[in-house]
Amino acid sequence: MQIINPYYGATLLEEIVLALGTNCGERFDVGVGFAKYLSGTTFDRFGAAVDDWLKVSDSRSFRLFIGDQRHPADKADERARKIRDCTEVAANLLKFSRNLEERMEVVFVPKLHAKFYSMWSCAPPHCQLEWAIIGSSNLTDAALTEKNIELDVYLEPKDSQLGHVQNMLAAVIANAYSDGDSWGILHDKIELLTARSRWENDKERASEEDDAEIVAEAEAEEQRLAEAQARAESDRKLGILGPD
């Protein structure tokens, strides 16, 4: 166990990048009250770390829980700002790579203010907590790079305390997933922001499927020719004459 704080040790972003680099787990769950204001460098490092982790196995997935801070009493401009603030980073991550577009799920949870970064290995019916960072840090440039004075507790891989918090944290995440929205106006906004990248990815997938079909047909034809040649060679050895 260690403390992540600007007065002590590495930044939160550095610890997340290193933790993802251990290549353990099948599900990366991140929950934050706010995901916004990520500078280009910070965003690229975080996105690349998640993308590289996803590349290791097709079974891996990334869930991002974001607080939906909208309130019925919000004025139109305030409501528009809150929608923009909680969708832009998520949309940019979905546009970052095909791995993220295909295997990232965004869940908006009303009033969520908790912050957690957690890795799980899942073998039904149980999931094991591989590591977790729990504290005060949102998914923002100021928090990830310790420009703010944050305080996070990092339960590292094989930490004896992981077993003590595993079931409680799993219950919190399960309830957040149940209470959250995986569709609605916020997801409509994300779809608008990611329309071009999704279209480009669809074209790329279709091209790959066409190429795979051509290769499969060529391999099947090669197999048919090899079988015909083998039969002809067998007939020759047996003295069986083919048709004139």
pTM, entire model: 0.81
Residue 117 pLDDT greater than 80, yes or no: yes
pLDDT (tens digit per residue) in 47-87: 999 999 999 999 999 999 999 988 888 888 888 888 888 88
**Average pLDDT over every residue of 15-44:** 92
The correct answer on CATH 3.10.20.30 for the domain covering 2-193 is no
- Contact predicate 184/66, CB 8 Å: no
**Average pLDDT over every residue of 109-129:** 89
pLDDT of residue 140: 93
Q: Average model confidence (pLDDT) for the chain?
A: 87
Domain boundaries, the chain: 2-193, 195-244
Q: Of the candidates 120, 197, 118, 136, which has an alpha carbon nearest to the alpha carbon of residue 5?
A: 136
Q: What are phi and psi of 36, to 5 degrees?
A: -165, 170
Interatomic CA distance for residues 173 and 116, integer angstroms: 9
pLDDT (tens digit per residue) in 40-51: 899 999 999 999
Residue 132 pLDDT greater than 90, yes or no: yes
What's the chain look like in SS3? CEEEECCECCCHHHHHHHHHHCCCCCEEEEEECCECCCCHHHHHHHHHHHHHHHHCCCCCEEEEEEEECCCCCCCHHHHHHHHHHHHHHHHHHHHHCHHHHHHEEEEEEECCCCCEEEEEEEECCEEEEEEEEEECCCECHHHHCCCCCCCEEEECCCCCCHHHHHHHHHHHHHHHHHHCECCCHHHHHHHHHCHHHHHHHHHHHHHHHHHHHHHHHHHHHHHHHHHHHHHHHHHHHHCCCCCC
pLDDT of residue 71: 87
Q: Of the candidates 122, 19, 112, 97, which has an alpha carbon nearest to the alpha carbon of residue 64?
A: 112
Q: Which residues of 56-84 are buried (b: 16+ CB within 10 A; e: fewer)?
A: eeeebbbbbbbbbbbeeeeeeeeeeebbe
